[in-house]
């Protein structure tokens, strides 16, 4: 560990932009870049961002990369041709799913399995639920299936046998045989990526892993070659969906873990920023063009789930930061229903044609257009966008919304915002409640292009007392790459009633998890200030199916304490006391975290650019509509505001890629980390 | 004062939120997997005077969409008549009587009077499917019951919680009459806590907007839901639009039961006349009034999912002609099949009647059976008795936008099937296959989805198999020239000898020994449109994927494929009569 990372670049490739943050940990000097993403080969965008930032690749100690390569491949189904070898009688598991439909009402909808039926082959073999062999593995059949799939043009392979989590011998033997005939390393044993029962979930997780593996491997190969040619000499790290980093050399082995890499890094940045600002309980609110991502952070720890379903019938059961997507974004379309009610979303104008104000031919009123009509977004920027006048937007609002509702155009625009905020607040409340948290105990961390514009109103609706707007809301994901810790998560399933559990077993499991994590971290050459651990157990009452996570301060805990902690957590969550029913300990969890040195985030806004007074940072005044009243609202340039700024609403703060709205009655102040904290007046 | 449309939207979202939170809380805290995993439950808010539905959770089981307003209304009437004790704040009533606005006995309703300023403002109610309420067979689905007493414990409305405190005397009577009673307290607490949470949230909503504004909004939302439904109905030709759907048998007498439906538009309302349907039956395939109405409502909601769930949406729907039929069974007719099977066939009749006049909204018939296979027995290795359920999906009907989904959940449900691995962990069985049922999708321009084909073996001990399924005699109806989906098939191998249940889809207590097997093939969905107009390359693709055979491509779709699976255009045109 001689080469300590001092000059670090975080690069996040998003759907629209590739963002870069480079921080010199010695001097605090910061460089930023934002360039269009290059979906064909994301490496172009990455290299362009490095060029724009003027990064010296030879001098960089560390590059940490968040990528949507695998996310896009999955969501757009641009996957490698992948074959499945599975237990006789069960090749259709991936197609039959769990007997569901996409919506509760409406008997329509489609589902396409990740691996088509002709590439799913069966071989004689069978384990029972206790891991005993019922039918021995037919090795000739395995080889024949492998050859057949090769001949069918498959690049990656999944070996998925029933009950392999209980006894992986057949999967291991089959994989060993197949490695001799398979031309590459892209063979996924399902039990190795997820060692839990439920054949559909494990099979889909393995199928995702295999079918994005060649794509991720190729991409990283290209990028590391480009970087090396540019003079970069070190290992690159890639952000995983659990918010931890893994070496680019190893990451493709468990490629499924990088799905959700981007959203996870945003949440990690939020946790980091919150901890530095002394606000450790946050709801992250990342509002973009088509959707909004929401996550929960408690005591500066993002909630992590290993049961995420990224779209209908596509569960990926590896630990990932629990980011939930709410179907509302700037492009959400407003319309009047047959019953004369105003409805916003779920349809979206997307980015093409996008809102009317983008000037790309959009003709449906959207949330962004409403913000523009109300003066919350700068109408002067319209001219830049091209071709659309404010009056064009107003005319569409008049025909499609105002007239049917019997309102004026500004009233209709305000109504769109109000209804959208109510829906988003409801969705955020459901997310927090489903995770067992009351939103009123949290602050809202607003980022993404549109987050800070709506955050204050949402906070009021949710009863959240304050909003945290970071220095650079538009590049939060890239910042997450820079600040993220090393992290390895371990889950061991015991599934034993508490009164039948040997305390020594529990201790052994925790010890083994800690040992494995610390050894992995030791292999990564990163400058750390220390190692910390997060312990928890997942418990339930015997007979239940849902789990309740019980955090533990330390691993060595006696069973009576465990019982008490569980009952306490259960009562807090459900207000139900069930003291006569036995408790069951299902999972033992440890996260081993290698902590990086703290960074001063206030330098993300160049201190030299900040003015002495608030007045000097003011760029003008706009008339903005709030609750029916037209108010003269001062507009400030964020980069010019003094660090210890104090502003009472109404006010607008603009910066390169984001607008923050401070509503009347709210009060904003700057903190030493360069954040803006909005105190919500009269929170409901 | 008149309400602006925005406040209305906001209050609508707020009421919905209260119900969604109740649903979530109930499922997460429940013990019964039927509630916790399968979401066989629903929560809602009901009018203080007539029990009319104000709002209901979006994630509730569809078949409960219309039932709770009837059970709440009945409760209100019984309180007014003095046959049920008057409520006090903090009380929660329990009731599962099917004839008092219910479904089957296992669906247990709780109702909480919600007070504002000393008056009942509205009722909060929920339904949860309990895993057992006593009766002849574990789980309550007896295929051969001939009276409701054989199906389980029947509870009239009584106050299980009095001023917030559980009445342990009533509770002990319940526990003494049901199986696995030791875990029921968890479900009871979860069900009550969900209502209490709802009460707290609703109180906050009223505090914020004011009681009179919310009251006015509720009335306006009801009016508007009715208006929206009427606007949709107005597009439907007057009719009559007729259909007949069949149930294999009642499980006791082996004679098919007919649902005869005539739908007619009357102004901007829609009448559903079921007269001519079969008489009440001996076995458990009877429906009760509330379930019959609810089945019509849920079918209409599948067709018009945009209309919010509110009593207003149901106002323009008139159900007639059910008196004296098996769709309005009276005490003591057995009813365990009403929620899982009869309800789906009623929905199928609605779909079949309307598909020709709403061809872009309605699908061909979905599989339409819950496929209930129960295996009860003794596991010697664990030294205890067990009851295993395998509920299965089937194919959905083709529709204007595409082929039907394969292995979809029942029309009236939204639950997930348990994994094979979990079943084998819990029960002494081994599955030999869990596969797509090839060839089962009804042929059509848009074909039906495929059913499920599974085969399971008893490994040790002894057990009996029972089946409450349907569509064994006739398949799910095709539409607009499409073919019916494949019929449900059940086969049992006892000591190697094949056996088919007498009623094809229903039989109780077939004895099994180790090594004996059960194979079930669930129905495919109905086809939509003339199969000879299906694009030949789609047919070839299905053959390539092994979903149909080459012969079926020819016989069902008129598509001729060569040995390599390529389309023989000339022969296809000839087969399709397009020379």
Could you give the CA distance from residue B444 to residue B169 in angstroms, rounded to a whole number?
A: 59
Q: Which two tokens stand for residue A344?
A: 């916003």
- The CA radius of gyration of chain B, in Å to the nearest whole number, is 24
Residues in A closer than 8 angstroms to B37, CB to CB, are 545
Structure tokens at A476: 């939060």
**Do B62 and A104 lie within an 8 Å CB cutoff?**
yes
> What whole-number distance in Å separates Cα of residue B368 and Cα of residue B341?
7
Q: Is some CB atom of chain A closer than 8 A to the CB atom of B421?
A: yes
CB contacts under 8 A, B 300-329 vs A, are 301-302, 305-307
Q: Which among B13, B65, B186 is the top mutation candidate for probing chain A, defined by the most A β-carbons within 10 Å of its own β-carbon?
A: B186
Q: Which residue is associated with the tokens 């009719």?
A: B239
Chain A's closest residue to B298, CA to CA, is: A105
Inspect the interface and report whether the beta carbons of A101 and B405 lie closer than 8 Å. yes
Q: What are the pLDDT digits (tens) for A73-109? A: 888 889 999 999 999 999 999 999 999 999 889 999 9
**CA distances (Å), origin A449, targets A618, B462, B471:** 21, 64, 54
Burial of B528 (0-12, 13-18, 19+ CB in 10 A): buried
Which tokens sit at A409?
């155009």
Q: Is A556 left (phi over 0), alpha (psi -120 to 50) or beta?
A: beta
Measured in angstroms, the CA of B511 and the nearest CA of chain A are apart by: 24
- From residue A50, alpha-carbon distances to A8, A10, A47, A476, B148 in Å are 12, 10, 5, 17, 75
Which positions in chain B touch A134 (Cβ < 8 Å)?
430
In angstroms, rounded to a whole number, what is the distance separating the alpha carbons of residues B565 and B571? 13
Estimate the crossing angle of helix B211-233 against helix B5-29, to 10 degrees. 90
Q: Looking at CA atoms only, how far is residue B340 from chain A in angstroms? A: 15
Other Cβ atoms less than 10 A from the Cβ of B149: the count is 15
Q: How far apart are CA A39 and CA A50, in angstroms?
A: 17
| Cβ of residue B33 closer than 8 Å to a chain A Cβ | yes
By Cβ distance, the residue of A96, A545, A576 closest to B190 is A576
Contacts of A95 in chain B (CB under 8 A): 406-407, 436
N-to-C CA span, chain A = 52
Q: How many CB pairs below 8 Å do chains A and B form together?
A: 209
A213-270: per-residue pLDDT in tens? 999 999 999 999 999 999 999 889 999 998 888 888 888 889 999 988 888 999 999 9
The three-class DSSP label of residue A494 is strand
Candidates A88, A105, A327, partner chain B, best to mutate (most B CBs within 10 A) = A105
Nearest chain B Cα distance for residue A108, angstroms: 7
Q: Closest Cα of chain A to B496: distance in Å?
A: 19
CB of B410 within 8 A of CB of B342? Answer: no
Please state, in angstroms and rounded to a whole number, the distance separating the CA atoms of residues B93 and B27: 20
3-state helix, strand, coil split of chain A in percent (to 5) is: 35, 30, 35
Q: What are phi and psi of A457, to 5 degrees?
A: -65, -40
Predicted complex ipTM: 0.93
pLDDT, residue A479, reads 93
Smallest Cα–Cα separation from B67: which of B85, B86, B43? B43
Asked if B420 and A162 come within 8 Å (Cβ–Cβ), the reply is yes
Work out whether strand B92-95 and strand B462-468 pair parallel, antiparallel, or are unpaired.
unpaired
- Return d(Cα A23, Cα A10) in angstroms, integer: 9
Q: Does B548 touch chain A (CB under 8 A)?
A: no
Q: Say if residue B154 is preceded by a cis peptide, omega within 30 of 0.
A: no
Give the pLDDT of residue A382. Answer: 62
Pick the closest to residue B16 from B315, B311, B308 (CA basis).
B308
Cβ–Cβ of A543/B31 closer than 8 Å?
yes
CB contact under 8 Å between A106 and B227, yes or no, is no
| Angstrom distance (rounded) from CA B462 to CA B492 | 15
Contact B254, B500 (CB under 8 A): no
- For A109-171, the DSSP string reads -----SS-GGGEEEES-EE-TTS-EEE---HHHHHHHHHHHHHTT-SEEEEE-TTTTT--HHH
Residues B410 and B344 sit within 8 Å (Cβ to Cβ)? yes
DSSP letter assigned to residue B101: T
B344 inside 8 A of chain A by CB: no
Q: Please determine, for residue A503, whether its predicted confidence score (pLDDT) is greater than 70.
A: yes
Facing residue for A96 by CB, picked from B227, B403, B452: B452
Name which of B3, B12, B29 to mutate to probe chain A: the one with the most chain A Cβ atoms within 10 A of its Cβ: B29
Residues B479, B397 contacting (CB under 8 angstroms): yes
Percent helix / strand / coil, chain B, rounded to 5: 30, 25, 45
pLDDT surpassing 50 at residue A146: yes
The pLDDT, as a whole number, for residue B2 is 65
Q: Report the alpha-carbon distance of residue B105 to residue B109 in Å, rounded.
A: 10
Q: Does A69 have pLDDT greater than 90?
A: no
> Is residue A129 a contact partner of residue A156, using CB atoms and an 8 Å limit?
no
Q: Tokens 């990224």 sit at which residue?
A: A310
Q: Do A578 and B189 count as a contact with CB atoms less than 8 A apart? A: yes
Q: pLDDT of chain B along its 579 residues, tens only?
A: 467 767 787 788 889 889 988 998 898 888 777 787 778 899 999 999 999 999 998 888 888 878 999 999 999 999 999 999 999 999 999 999 999 999 999 999 999 999 999 999 999 999 999 988 999 888 888 888 999 999 999 999 999 999 999 999 999 999 999 987 877 888 899 999 999 999 999 999 999 889 999 999 999 999 989 999 999 999 999 989 999 999 999 999 999 999 999 999 999 999 999 999 999 999 999 999 999 999 999 999 999 998 888 899 999 999 999 999 999 999 999 999 998 899 999 999 999 999 999 999 999 999 999 999 999 899 999 888 888 888 899 999 999 999 999 999 999 988 888 899 989 988 999 999 999 999 999 999 999 999 999 999 999 999 999 999 999 999 999 999 999 999 999 999 999 999 999 889 999 899 999 999 999 999 999 999 999 999 999 999 999 999 999 999 999 999 999 999 999 999 999 999 986
Helix, coil or strand: residue B233: helix
Q: How far apart, in whole angstroms, are the C-alpha atoms of residue B453 and residue B440?
A: 10
Residue A659: pLDDT above 80?
yes
Per-residue model confidence as pLDDT tens digits over A582-622: 888 988 989 999 888 788 888 888 888 999 999 999 999 99
Burial B240-267 (b: 16+ CB within 10 A, else e): ebebebbbbbbbbeeeebbbbbbbbbee
C-alpha distances out from residue A410 to A389, A417, A585, Å: 16, 11, 57
* Residue B432 touches chain A, beta carbons under 8 Å: yes
The first and second tokens of residue A655, run together, are: 């910066």
Q: How confident is the model at residue A527 (pLDDT cuts 50, 70, 90)?
A: confident
How far apart (Å, rounded) are the C-alpha atoms in residues A488 and A476?
Answer: 22
Which residues of chain B does A96 touch, with a Cβ-Cβ cutoff of 8 Å?
393, 406-407, 434-436, 452
Please tell me the predicted confidence (pLDDT) of residue A683.
Answer: 46
Stretch 375-414 of chain B: residues touching chain A, C-beta under 8 Å: 392-393, 396-397, 399, 401-403, 405-409, 411, 414
- Touching A: B residues 252-291, CB under 8 Å: none
Does the distance separating the beta carbons of A111 and B421 come in below 8 Å?
no
Taking CB atoms and an 8 Å limit, are B409 and A341 in contact across chains?
A: no
Gyration radius of chain A's alpha carbons: 26
Show the CA angle centred on residue A25, arms to residues A20 and A28, nearest 5°. 80
Tens digits of per-residue pLDDT, A283-341? 999 988 777 889 999 988 898 887 888 888 899 988 889 988 877 888 899 999 877 88
Here the tokens at position B538 are 């789609």
Q: Is it the case that residue A684 has pLDDT exceeding 50? A: no
In angstroms, the CA A603 to CA A612 distance is 16
**Cβ-based neighbours of A469, under 8 Å, separated by 6 or more:** A446, A447, A452, A455, A660, A675, A676, A677, A678
Identify the DSSP state of A439.
G
Q: Largest Cα–Cα distance in chain B?
A: 81
B196 touches chain A (CB under 8 A): yes
Q: How far apart are CA A576 and CA B31, in angstroms?
A: 12
3-state secondary structure of A263: helix
Chain A residue numbers touching B402 (CB-CB < 8 A): 108, 110
If you search the block for the tokens 């909808």, which residue do you land on? Answer: A109
End-to-end CA distance of chain B: 71
- From chain A, the residues in CB contact with B434 under 8 A are 89-90, 92-93, 96
What backbone phi and psi angles, to 5 degrees, belong to A515?
-60, -45
Contact A647, A667 (CB under 8 A): yes
Per residue in A387-428, pLDDT (tens digit) is 788 889 999 999 999 999 999 999 999 999 998 998 888 888
Task: Return the HEC string of A28-48.
Answer: CCEEEEEEECCCCCHHHHHHH
Which residue in chain A has the smallest CA separation from B434?
A90
Spatial separation of the C-alpha atoms in residues A111 and B139, rounded to whole Å:
32
Cα distance between residue A198 and residue A165, in whole Å = 9
Contacts of B432 in chain A (CB under 8 A): 89
Q: Identify the three-state secondary structure at position A13.
A: strand
Q: Tell me the average pLDDT of chain A.
A: 89
d(CA B417, CA B37): 9
B7 touches A at CB < 8 Å: no
Q: Tell me the C-alpha distance between B573 and A134, whole Å.
A: 50
Residue A2: what pLDDT? Answer: 35
How close does chain A come to B77, measured CA to CA in Å?
32
- Please name the residues in contact with A310: beta carbons below 8 A apart, sequence gap of 6 or more: A71, A74, A75, A259, A260, A316
A596 in helix, strand or coil? strand
CA B25 to chain centre: 22
Beta carbons of B442 and B478 less than 8 angstroms apart: yes
**What token pair was written down for B254?**
């082996």
Pick from B21, B363, B422: CB nearest A107: B363
What's the CA gap between B462 and B385, in Å, rounded? 10
Measured CA to CA, the distance from residue B227 to residue B235 in angstroms comes to 13
């Amino acid at each position: 560990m001689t080469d300590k990372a001092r000059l670090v670049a975080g690069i996040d490739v998003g759907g629209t932009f590739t963002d870069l943050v480079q921080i010199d940990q010695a001097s605090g000097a910061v460089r930023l870049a934002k360039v269009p993403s290059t979906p064909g080969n994301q490496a172009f965008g990455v290299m362009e961002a490095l060029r724009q930032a003027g990064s010296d690749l030879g001098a960089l100690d560390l590059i940490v990369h968040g990528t949507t390569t695998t996310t896009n491949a999955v969501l757009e189904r641009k996957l490698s041709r992948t074959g499945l070898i599975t237990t006789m009688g069960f090749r259709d598991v991936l197609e039959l799913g769990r007997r569901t439909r996409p919506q509760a009402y409406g008997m329509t909808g489609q589902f396409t399995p990740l691996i088509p039926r002709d590439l799913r082959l069966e071989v004689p073999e069978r384990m029972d639920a206790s891991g005993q062999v019922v039918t021995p593995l037919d090795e000739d059949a395995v080889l024949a299936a492998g050859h057949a799939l090769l001949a069918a043009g498959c690049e990656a392979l999944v070996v998925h046998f029933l009950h392999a989590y209980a006894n992986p011998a057949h999967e291991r033997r089959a994989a060993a045989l197949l490695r001799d005939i398979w031309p590459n390393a892209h063979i996924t044993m399902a039990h190795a990526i997820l060692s839990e029962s439920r054949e559909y979930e494990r099979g889909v997780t393995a199928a995702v892993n295999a079918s994005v593996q060649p794509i991720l491997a190729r991409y990283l190969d290209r990028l590391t070659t480009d970087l090396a040619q540019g003079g970069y000499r070190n290992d690159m790290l890639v952000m995983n969906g659990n918010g931890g980093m893994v070496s680019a050399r190893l990451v493709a082995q468990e490629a499924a873990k990088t799905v959700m890499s981007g959203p996870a890094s945003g949440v990690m940045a939020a946790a980091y920023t919150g901890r530095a600002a002394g606000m450790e309980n946050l709801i992250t609110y990342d509002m973009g063009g088509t959707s909004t991502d929401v996550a929960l952070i408690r005591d500066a720890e993002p909630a992590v789930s290993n049961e995420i379903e990224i779209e209908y019938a596509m569960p990926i059961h590896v630990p990932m930061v629990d980011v939930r997507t709410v179907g509302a974004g700037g492009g959400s379309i407003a319309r009047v229903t047959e019953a004369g009610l105003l409805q916003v979303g779920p349809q979206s104008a997307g980015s093409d044609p996008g809102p009317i104000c983008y000037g790309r031919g959009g003709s449906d009123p959207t949330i962004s257009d409403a913000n523009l009509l109300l003066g919350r977004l700068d109408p002067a920027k319209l001219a830049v966008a091209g071709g659309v006048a404010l009056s064009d937007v107003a005319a569409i609002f008049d025909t499609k919304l105002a007239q049917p509702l019997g309102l004026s155009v500004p009233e209709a625009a305000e109504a769109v915002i109000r209804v959208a905020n109510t829906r988003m607040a409801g969705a955020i409340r459901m997310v927090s409640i489903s995770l067992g948290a009351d939103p009123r105990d949290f602050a809202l961390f607003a980022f993404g292009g549109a987050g800070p514009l709506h955050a204050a109103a949402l906070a009021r609706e949710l009863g959240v007392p304050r909003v945290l707007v970071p220095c650079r809301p538009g590049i939060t994901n890239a910042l997450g790459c820079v600040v993220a810790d090393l992290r390895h998560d371990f889950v061991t399933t015991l599934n034993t009633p508490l009164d039948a559990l040997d305390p020594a077993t529990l201790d052994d499991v925790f010890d083994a998890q800690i040992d494995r994590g610390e050894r992995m971290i030791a292999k990564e050459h990163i400058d750390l200030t220390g190692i910390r651990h997060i312990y928890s157990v997942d418990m339930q009452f015997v007979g239940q199916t849902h789990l309740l996570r019980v955090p533990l301060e330390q691993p060595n805990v006696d069973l009576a304490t465990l019982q008490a902690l569980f009952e306490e957590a259960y009562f807090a969550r459900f207000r139900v006391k069930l003291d006569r029913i036995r408790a069951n300990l299902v999972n033992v969890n440890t996260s081993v975290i290698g902590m990086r040195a703290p960074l001063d985030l206030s330098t993300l806004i160049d201190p030299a650019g900040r003015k002495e007074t608030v007045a000097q940072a003011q760029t003008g005044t706009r008339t903005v509509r709030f609750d029916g009243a037209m108010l003269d609202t001062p507009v400030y340039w964020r980069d010019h505001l003094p660090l210890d700024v104090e502003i009472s609403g109404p006010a607008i703060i603009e910066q390169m890629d984001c607008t923050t709205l401070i509503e009347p009655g709210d009060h904003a102040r700057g903190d030493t980390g360069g954040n803006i904290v909005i105190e919500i007046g009269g929170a409901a | 004062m008149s309400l602006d449309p925005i406040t209305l939207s906001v209050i609508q979202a707020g009421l919905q939120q209260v119900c969604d939170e109740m649903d979530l809380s109930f499922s997460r805290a429940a013990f019964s997997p039927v509630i916790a995993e399968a979401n066989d439950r629903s929560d809602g808010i009901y009018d203080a005077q007539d029990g009319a539905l104000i709002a209901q959770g979006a994630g509730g089981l569809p078949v409960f969409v219309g039932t709770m307003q009837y059970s709440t209304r009945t409760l209100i009437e019984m309180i007014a008549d003095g046959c049920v004790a008057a409520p006090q704040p903090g009380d929660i009533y329990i009731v599962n009587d099917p004839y008092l606005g219910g479904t089957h006995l296992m669906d247990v309703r709780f109702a909480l009077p919600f007070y504002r300023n000393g008056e009942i403002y509205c009722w909060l109610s929920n339904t949860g499917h309990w895993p057992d309420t006593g009766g002849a067979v574990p789980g309550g689905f007896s295929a051969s019951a001939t009276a409701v007493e054989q199906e389980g414990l029947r509870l009239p409305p009584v106050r299980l919680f009095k001023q917030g405190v559980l009445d342990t005397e009533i509770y002990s009577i319940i526990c003494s009459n049901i199986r696995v009673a030791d875990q029921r307290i968890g479900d009871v607490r979860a069900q009550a806590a969900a209502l209490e949470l709802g009460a707290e949230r609703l109180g906050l909503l009223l505090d914020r907007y004011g009681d009179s504004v919310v009251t006015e909004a509720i009335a306006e939302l009801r009016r508007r839901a009715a208006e929206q439904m009427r606007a949709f109905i107005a597009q439907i030709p007057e009719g009559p639009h007729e259909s007949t759907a069949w149930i294999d048998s009642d499980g006791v007498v082996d004679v098919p039961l007919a649902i005869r439906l005539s739908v007619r538009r009357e102004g901007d309302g829609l009448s559903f006349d079921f007269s001519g349907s079969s008489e009440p039956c001996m076995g458990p395939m009877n429906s009760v009034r509330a379930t019959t109405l609810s089945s019509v409502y849920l079918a209409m909601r599948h067709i018009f999912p945009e209309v919010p769930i509110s009593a207003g949406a149901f106002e323009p729907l008139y159900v007639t002609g059910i008196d004296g039929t098996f769709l309005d069974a009276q005490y003591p007719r057995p009813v365990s099949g009403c929620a899982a099977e009869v309800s789906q066939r009623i929905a199928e009749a609605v779909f079949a009647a309307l598909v020709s006049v709403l061809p872009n909204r309605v699908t061909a018939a979905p599989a339409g059976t819950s496929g209930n296979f129960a295996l009860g027995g003794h596991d010697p290795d664990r030294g205890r008795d067990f009851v295993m359920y395998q509920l299965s999906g089937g194919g959905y009907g083709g529709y204007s936008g595409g082929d039907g989904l394969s292995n979809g959940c029942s029309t009236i449900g939204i639950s997930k099937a348990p994994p094979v691995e979990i079943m084998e962990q819990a029960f002494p069985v081994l599955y030999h296959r869990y596969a797509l049922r090839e060839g089962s999708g009804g042929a059509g321009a848009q074909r039906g989805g495929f059913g499920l084909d599974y085969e399971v073996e008893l490994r040790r001990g002894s057990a009996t198999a029972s089946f409450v399924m349907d569509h064994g005699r006739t398949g799910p109806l095709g539409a607009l020239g499409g073919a019916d989906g494949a019929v449900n098939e059940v086969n049992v191998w006892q000591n190697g000898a094949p056996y088919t249940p007498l009623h094809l889809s229903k039989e109780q207590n077939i004895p099994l020994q180790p090594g004996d097997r059960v194979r079930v093939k669930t129905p495919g969905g109905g086809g939509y449109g003339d199969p000879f107009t299906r694009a030949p390359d789609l047919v070839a693709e299905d053959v390539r994927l092994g979903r149909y055979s080459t012969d079926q491509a020819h016989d069902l779709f008129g598509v001729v494929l060569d040995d390599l699976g390529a389309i023989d255009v000339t022969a296809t045109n000839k087969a399709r009569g397009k020379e």
